[in-house]
Chains A and B, each alone.
Chain A
Amino acid sequence: MDDVVAPVALEAVRRRGPERLPGEPRAVGYLFVAPAFLIYAAFTLVPLLHAVNLSFFEWDGLTPGTFVGLRNYAAFFTDPLIRSSYGHTLVLIVFFSFLPITIGLLLAASLSRIRIRGLTFFRTILFVPVIITNVVVAVTWAWIYAPDGPLNAFLRAIGLGHVARAWLGDFTWALPSVGLVGTWGEFGFCMILFIAGIMKIPASLYEAARVDGAGPVREFLAVTLPGLRHELTVALVLTVIDALSTFDLVYVMTSGGPGTATSVPAFQVYSRAFLTNQVGSAAAIGITLMLIVFAVTFGITRLMERGEG
Chain B
Amino acid sequence: MATLIGAACTPGGTTGSRTAAPTPSATGVIGTEPVTLTVWDQETGRVSKIWDRLNAEFMEKYPNVTIERVRKSFSDLKTSLKLAVAGPNPPDVVEANQGWPDMGALVRAGLLLPLDGYAEAYGWLDRVPAGVLAVNRFTPDASEFGTGSLYGFTGMGEMIGVFYNKTKLAQLGLERPATFAEFEHALEVAKQAGEVPIAFGNLDKFAGIHEFTAIQNVIAPKDYLTDLIFSRRGPDLSFDTPENREAAAILREWAEKGYFTEGFNGVGYDDVVARFVEGEGVFMITGNWIVQNIGPENRDFGFFVMPPLEAGDPPVTTGGPGFPLAIAAASEHPDVAAAYIDWMTSDHAGQMLIPTGQLPLYIGADTSGIDPESVLGELLAEADRVSRADGLVPYLDWATPTFYDTTTAAIQELMGLKIGVEEFVRDIDADYAAFQASRG
Contact between chains at A166 and B265 (CB < 8 Å): yes
Also in contact, A46 and B1, with CB within 8 A (given A64-B12, A170-B265): yes
Contact of B13 among A49, A64, A271, A277 (CB under 8 A): A64
Known: A61-B12, A259-B410, A275-B405. Is A142-B262 also a contact (CB below 8 A)? no
Contact of A166 among B262, B401, B409 (CB under 8 A): B262
Count of CB-CB pairs between chains A and B under 8 Å? 133
Q: Do A147 and B111 touch (CB < 8 A)?
A: no
The closest CB in chain A to the CB of B102 belongs to A277
CB distance from B57 to the nearest CB of A (A): 35
A197, chain B: closest CB distance, angstroms: 39
| Chain A residues, CB < 8 A from B204 | 255
Q: Out of B12, B202, B409, which one reaches A260, CB within 8 Å?
A: B409
**Known contacts A62-B12, A171-B416, A171-B418: A145-B82 contact under CB 8 Å:** no
A54 at the B interface (CB under 8 A): yes
- Please classify how large the interface on chain B is, using the bins under 10, 10 to 19, 20 to 34, 35 or more: 35 or more
The answer to whether the Cβ of B79 comes within 8 Å of any Cβ in the partner chain is: yes
Residues of B within 8 A of A142 (CB): 203, 268
Q: Which single residue of chain B is at the shortest CB-CB distance from A165?
A: B263
For A44-67 the 0/1 string (1 means CB < 8 A from B) is: 001001100110110111111101
Please measure, in the bound complex, the distance between the C-alpha atom of A145 and the C-alpha atom of B203, giving whole angstroms. Answer: 12
Is the CB–CB distance between A277 and B4 below 8 Å?
A: no
- Judged by a CB distance under 8 angstroms, whether B251 is at the interface is no
Contacts of A64 in B (CB 8 A): 10-13
B10 touches A169 (CB 8 A): no
A146 and B1 within 8 A (CB) = no
Tell me, yes or no, whether B63 is within 8 Å of chain A by CB: no
Would A65 and B205 be within 8 Å (CB), given that A145-B266, A259-B412, A276-B405 are in contact? no
Known A-B contacts A146-B266, A166-B265, A171-B418; A62 and B10 likewise in contact (beta carbons under 8 Å): no
B32 / chain A contacts, CB cutoff of 8 Å = none
A281 CB to nearest B CB, Å? 11
Q: Which of B5, B101, B205, B401 contacts A257 (CB 8 A)?
A: B205
Contact A59 B412, beta carbon cutoff 8 Å: no
A149 to chain B, nearest CB (A): 9
Interface of chain B residues 368 through 424 with chain A (CB within 8 A) = 401-402, 404-405, 408-410, 412-413, 416, 418-419
Categorize the interface residue count of chain A: 35 or more
Q: Nearest Cβ distance between residue B138 and chain A, in whole angstroms?
A: 13
Interface core residue of A46, A166, A167, A258 (most chain B CB under 10 Å): A258
Which residues does chain B contribute within 8 Å of A257, judged by CB atoms? Answer: 202-203, 205, 265, 408-409, 412
Q: CA A166 – CA B265 in complex, angstroms?
A: 7
The answer to whether A62 and B203 touch (CB under 8 A), given A67-B8, A168-B266, A170-B265, is no
Q: Which residue of B lies closest to A254 (CB)?
A: B203
Contact partner of A147 (CB less than 8 A), chosen from B13, B86, B108, B263, is: B263
Q: List residues of A (120-160) whose CB comes within 8 Å of B's CBs.
A: 142, 145-147
Q: Is the CB of A57 within 8 A of B263?
A: no
**Is B25 positioned at the interface, with any CB of A under 8 Å from its CB?**
no
CB-nearest residue of chain B to A253 = B203
Q: Check B105 against A277 for contact (C-beta < 8 Å).
A: yes
Q: Is A298 an interface residue (CB 8 A)?
A: no
B215 at the interface (CB under 8 A from A): no
B33 within 8 A of A: no
Q: Which residues of B contact A (CB under 8 A)?
A: 1, 4-5, 8-15, 78-79, 82, 86, 101, 105-106, 108-109, 111, 202-205, 261-268, 271, 401-402, 404-405, 408-410, 412-413, 416, 418-419
5 additional A-B pairs beyond A57-B11, A171-B413, A174-B266, beta carbons within 8 Å, are: A50-B4, A62-B14, A147-B263, A271-B405, A275-B101
- A residues neighboring B (CB under 8 Å): 46, 49-50, 53-54, 56-57, 59-65, 67, 142, 145-147, 165-171, 174, 254-260, 271, 274-279
29 pairs of residues in contact across A and B, judged by CB atoms under 8 Å: A46-B1, A60-B105, A62-B105, A62-B106, A62-B108, A62-B111, A63-B12, A63-B15, A63-B105, A63-B109, A64-B10, A146-B268, A166-B262, A169-B265, A169-B266, A169-B267, A254-B203, A255-B204, A256-B409, A257-B203, A258-B412, A259-B410, A259-B412, A259-B413, A259-B416, A275-B79, A275-B101, A277-B401, A279-B11
